Amino acid sequence: MALGHYQQTAQAVSGSTLLGGFQLGIAATAGIFEAGSMATILGIGNLTDFTENIEMTTTQAGNSNEPDKAVANHTLTIAFELLEFYPPKWDIIRGGSLDTENSATAATYLVGGTGSTNVFSTGGLSAIEAKAYKFLNKKLVAGSTVETALVVYKAKIEAGMIITPKSDHDTDSVMVMPFTLTGELDTARTAGDQLYIIESELGI
């Protein structure tokens, strides 16, 4: 006996399903992306988390009802993974002031290396510079490319380097490099447009 199917709903807005991952881009200055630009593309990777965090006020008088809620703190947690082991990109992501990075310089600690190396070192107290980040998704809808962009105006690195090598015999032996950022309010912008923006052609 066939089971009945009830309360079926078709897609309300045609073509509004987001598929696949995102291209990762970073601008040298917080809030600055030229129109249509990805600035510096970070390489092969996966956007794994994009979570808006809203902390509400908790003020309450002892002799009255709780007042209307208001936003006390408004941030964004962003996490992504890179597959390319490339120190110059790490330095850009981490703000450029936290580390010392030299591209194509002579090796010191390699045992069998003879050519030039990329050198990345860190350690010490320093300010971390905020950067602007863009995450771009592209999908095909009826043969046409449709784009969705997530732009974070001002974000800083939140967690240190995580290096987790894999076995040569692992089913997928490529090591991923995870990064976690915190997006904060860019108060130089108009209220209501200080944290991030989403532009999408989905459903148009």
Domain ranges, ordered by start, for the chain:
23-54+70-103+114-200
pLDDT at 9 over 90: no
Write down the pTM of the prediction: 0.88
d(CA 38, CA 168): 34
In this structure, what token pair is assigned to residue 14? 């045609």
Q: What is the pLDDT of residue 80?
A: 97
- Asked if residues 196 and 102 have their Cβ atoms less than 8 Å apart, the reply is no
Measured in degrees and rounded to the nearest 5, phi and psi for residue 117 equal -135, 160
Average pLDDT, the chain: 90
Higher pLDDT, residue 1 or 172 = 172
**Between 90 and 61, whose confidence is greater?**
90
pLDDT recorded at residue 57? 86
